[in-house]
Structure 1
């Protein structure tokens, strides 16, 4: 059993802790937030702390772990009724086994001395990535006054601030400030839930929410990465994040609805490829200036705040900019020439798997797709199937351009 302190730092060297910065930032911004949403943040932080502290390499199969979490919250009766739903949702997100028990005694949200209830239309997650940039530009072009919500990530903070200042009316930046007692697990799939919980909490601070109206949180991600289809039969979808997967978002939506948190999470781009997002963006002038400065790489920190150029998100990014055709991709890629026949380039697993996927999809798309859209929680299967086909077309064009195929 391991103790985790939430919204405080606990005792250094003895306690895992998470969320101390969240408490400080909510006070600083003068946010008036929904108490149930505060519990939701506590649950997300507890799951993330456990995820970070537990190495997958220590599990029997080298990946799947089992978690038993007891979390102190303000409304334990409500959350105990939702424990199984939470466990299923997190199991899909992280491919682990989860069990929750909720007890009284959770922290209450701070009461600001000068309450701020922004008269804005919606909240939007702003990560510093290309998709969230396009989403904010489109929403602003539609006339929406936006509250940008960011989770502090080293290397992206400058982009987050720049995009928020250019596009949004207000900006909230949170740091989960999670500290473990050992080397942290690198996969950290539950970080997605933490980011969403920050967005939900911020959406409940909007003036419309306090007028008993529903609030909207926009999570903008292209449909190909959201579905994250396994590239080959030997690869699992959990090799990449499932932040915007419709099954995961449907689970979160059920949790929010049953807990009485009146926030809708919307991804307007679930039927679009990344290239289509770029081409259809309503503010092409601003996008052309900012696009290649955004961050997409799954190994950005590992490569010294540079794009590796060969991970799946980098390949999707490169394919989308090529398909867009409006600007030259001047992103600095550590591995730029993927077509070279050596271990550092075309022999890299993600490049090889993507090349195999493009060939397999062309030969028999249905067989390649397999059960990627099989869950009953996946809506609009025909539209998603067609979108995935167009995404494969973009990636095929990239591999031909680079001499991989």
Structure 2
């Protein structure tokens, strides 16, 4: 699939061999896509002045989001792997063409697709507002509305970090993002941004690329902070528990479509390579890479605040599908429920499917519940290494043994959950 992703000022609007995606504007025709229609106005309204390279990274991320939505996996030869050929307008095309292989490697790992990228001129970053500001905070934290990002941000604020919170606006989570930011510490400076990626013909629902836009929003704001211009690398915190970040395939059948890599340590290493090669002074930090979700909750520095807010957070992979309620049976819901048990606090979350022990296709027989049960059975039989398989085989993974231990503890938390409900 070929896409040309550029602002409307790049006057190539009717080249039929491409899906034309208008960056930072409206599509203007039914056969075009668009992405980032509001984000430049949002940043200008906030009187921020991000760097040109950060704007270029955002343009790349917006283009990837549009491609991810447009490419239909069911139309690919193998029913999954897509091929993308993108031309993307940036302010510094020479630099990004030199880095194209790094970017495609990261995207290939993230989405399990094949990518070809070519960067063209015409994506000039907007001029900074005449009265722009340089906020004094010295770190950025991604605040999704999820339980991990909530717990992590509470922890970081309690440790004395001066944080700016960045949220990707998602229906059902926007209000809680605002609430969380306002109640952490003395209140965090908070920006909610949206890619607004739309394409003709509907969206692919697998959304494997979604973390790249979240990171790009974080980098964009990070480069506008006062300490960024003082040299060094400004921290960008990704607060995800290690079990979900690695997301080991629970069974052999879950290696592809059911194992996302949005916060995988290898993907974040590749993203850091891109930032370093582009001389963007932002350091991605994952302080909970070797922690389970239960350990994150149990060790959070402000237990009172976490208890007040935890039930409002979102973990479910099907939250919108169930009318903004947790299903209770998907893998993220099971990890959440296991974490509350490990924490030792009552779980106030209302789950659509509460009693996982009920022996029918909606509960214990549901694919995700059964997959967790199969993983637990394999480990119980003494085959932890065999179950783990190639989950940690990727190069340049720091703390490999610590990650292995964390995955074992994460499975144990899930085992306690299944035992609690009598799942067989």
Does the TM-score normalized on the shorter chain lie above 0.5?
Answer: yes
1:60 alignment counterpart: 77
Segments of structure 2 that go 5 or more residues without pairing to the other structure are 1-17
Q: Is residue 2:382 matched to residue 1:360? A: no
Runs ≥4 residues deviating over 6 A: none
In structure 2, C-alpha distance between the alignment counterparts of 1:396 and 1:236, rounded to whole Å: 21
Q: Structure 1 unaligned runs (5+)?
A: none
Helix, strand or coil: the match of 1:89? helix
Kindly indicate whether residue 319 of structure 2 is the aligned counterpart of residue 274 of structure 1.
no
Question: Comparing 167-176 with 258-267, which one deviates more in the overlay?
Answer: 167-176
- Give runs of aligned pairs for residues 190-205 of structure 1, distance below 5 A: 190-205=209-224
Post-superposition Cα deviations, 1:29-75, rounded to whole Å, max 9, x if no partner, equal: 11110110100000010011011011111111111100011111111
Helix, strand or coil at the partner of 1:3: strand
Match of residue 266 from structure 2: 247
Residue 126 of structure 1 is aligned with which of 143, 148, 162? 143
SS in 1 for 2:355: coil
In the alignment, what sits opposite 1:207? Answer: 226
Out of 388, 394, 398, the position equivalent to 1:369 is 388
Distance 1:119 1:109 in 2: 22
Q: Take 1:276 and 1:237, find their aligned partners in 2: how far apart are those partners?
A: 28
Secondary structure of the corresponding residue to residue 178 of structure 2: helix
**Count of residues in correspondence between the two structures:** 404
Deviation of 1:339 after TM superposition, in Å, equals 1.0
User: How many Å separate the matches in 2 of 1:110 and 1:193?
Assistant: 24
- Counterpart for residue 363 of structure 2: 345
Q: CA deviation at 1:237?
A: 5.3
The alignment's C-alpha RMSD in Å is 1.0
- In structure 1, the partner of 2:325 is 306
Per-residue deviation, 1:238: 4.5
**CA pair 346-110 structure 1, distance change in 2 beyond 3 A:** farther
Does the 8 A contact of 2:327 with 2:351 survive in 1?
Answer: yes
Other structure's SS at 1:239 match: coil
Aligned to 1:383: 402
Pair 1:24-2:24 in alignment? no
TM-score, L = length of structure 2: 0.94
1:42-61 pair list within 5 angstroms: 42-61=59-78
Specify the SS of the correspondent of 2:253. coil
Q: Indicate whether 1:81 and 2:98 are aligned.
A: yes
Distance in 2 (alpha carbons) for counterparts of 1:45 and 1:58: 23
Provide the rounded CA distance (Å) in 2 between the counterparts of 1:244 and 1:110: 32
The superposition leaves residues 181-229 of structure 1 with CA deviations (integer Å, 9 ceiling, x where unpaired) of 1110001111110011000111111100122342111010000000000
1:308-345 CA distance string (max 9 Å, x none): 101110000000001101x2112011111111111111
- Asked if the contact 2:138–2:228 (Cα under 8 Å) also holds between the matched residues in 1, the reply is no
> What TM-score, normalized to structure 1?
0.98
SS of 2:164's equivalent in the other structure is strand
Tell me how far 1:178 sits from its aligned partner: 1.1
Asked if residue 328 in structure 1 is aligned to residue 346 in structure 2, the reply is: yes
1:246-289 CA-partner distances (Å, limit 9, x unpaired): 11001000000001111001010000000000000000000011
Residue matched to 1:72:
89
Secondary structure in 2 matching 1:100 = strand
C-alpha contact 1:309 1:333 (8 A) present in aligned 2? yes
Give the distance between the partners of 1:93 and 1:171, measured in 2 at CA. 27
Q: Which residue of 2 aligns with 1:117?
A: 134
Once residues 59 and 216 of structure 2 are traced to their aligned partners in structure 1, the CA distance between those partners, rounded to angstroms, is 9
> Equivalent of 2:416, from 369, 375, 397?
397
Partner Cα separation in structure 1 for residue 180 and residue 29 of structure 2: 36
Q: Secondary structure at the match of 2:236?
A: strand
Tell me, in whole angstroms, the C-alpha distance in 1 between the residues paired with 2:357 and 2:93.
55
Deviations 1:138-188 (A, max 9, x none): 111011121000000000011100011111430011011111111100011
